[in-house]
């Protein structure tokens, strides 16, 4: 835009351990384009810098041309550079609109990130509520005083005389596998395993089964004799 400056900088360096003197010749000048050099000697330690500035004063194209000439080797080689700049109406407005669009996109992104954070927070809160409800339900079921007995490796709820098992109790029994503790007994089962009570109970079941088998054998023997 008019009144603003566009700048480009180029570093001139030498990759061999030699020093070169150079000169910048203006083959074609334009008042809107300025070419400056900080030094006219290039050394391996200190490179030179060529600065090009374009400051438009009207909505026209500006063209300038320079030539970089080395002082050694008879002025060869040379480098001819053409510099062109253009200024169009409406660039300032376009720049403002572009900046505004970028700000709007950034604000949308921040709002989107905030919405994601809120959603994650709500999901975490729901998960915590579910965990609390599960703990409360487990504590209620443990404190309800419902007694169970172990039958062939299955936990059977004890119902009152003359009453059948409820649908929940029946489903609870059908979901079990012999020898595996259900979920609500898992913690107690682990503690019993650690304390050795499970092994004692298994040994007692084996002795009880052996006693039953021995009693059956004796009963059959007595029956045959009679």
Give the pLDDT confidence of 41-68 residue by residue, as tens digits.
888 888 889 999 999 888 888 999 998 8
Asked whether the whole model's pTM tops 0.85, one would answer no
Q: What is the DSSP letter of 78?
A: E
Q: What is the residue-wise DSSP string for 160-181?
A: PTT-PPPHHHHHHHHT--TT--
Q: Are 87 and 58 in contact (CB under 8 A)?
A: yes
DSSP string, 117-133: HHHHHHHHHHHHHHHHH
- Buried b / exposed e over 27-49, threshold 16 CB at 10 Å, is eeebebbbbebeeeebeeeeebe
Q: How many helices (H) and strands (E) does the chain have?
A: 4, 9
Give tens-digit pLDDT for 139-194: 555 545 567 777 777 877 777 666 777 888 888 888 888 877 777 777 766 776 66
Residues shown for the chain = 226
């Amino acid at each position: 835009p008019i009144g603003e400056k566009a700048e480009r900088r180029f570093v001139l360096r030498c990759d061999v351990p030699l020093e070169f003197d150079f000169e910048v010749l203006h083959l074609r000048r334009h008042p809107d384009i300025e070419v400056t050099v900080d030094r006219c000697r290039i050394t391996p330690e200190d490179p030179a810098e060529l600065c090009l500035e374009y400051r438009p004063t009207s909505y026209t194209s500006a063209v300038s041309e320079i030539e970089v000439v080395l002082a050694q080797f008879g002025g060869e080689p040379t480098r001819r550079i053409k510099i062109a700049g253009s200024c169009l109406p409406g660039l300032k407005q376009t720049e403002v609109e572009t900046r505004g669009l970028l700000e709007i996109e950034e604000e949308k992104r921040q709002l989107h990130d905030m919405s994601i954070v809120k959603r994650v927070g709500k999901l975490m809160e729901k998960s915590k509520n579910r965990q609390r409800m599960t703990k409360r339900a487990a504590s209620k079921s443990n404190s309800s005083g419902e007694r169970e007995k172990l039958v062939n490796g299955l936990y059977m709820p004890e119902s009152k005389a003359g009453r059948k098992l409820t649908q929940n109790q029946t489903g609870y029994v059908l979901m079990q596998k012999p020898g595996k503790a259900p979920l609500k007994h898992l913690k107690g089962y682990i503690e019993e395993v650690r304390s050795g009570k499970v092994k004692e109970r298994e040994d007692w079941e084996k002795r009880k089964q052996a006693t039953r088998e021995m009693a059956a054998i004796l009963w059959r023997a007595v029956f045959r004799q009679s």
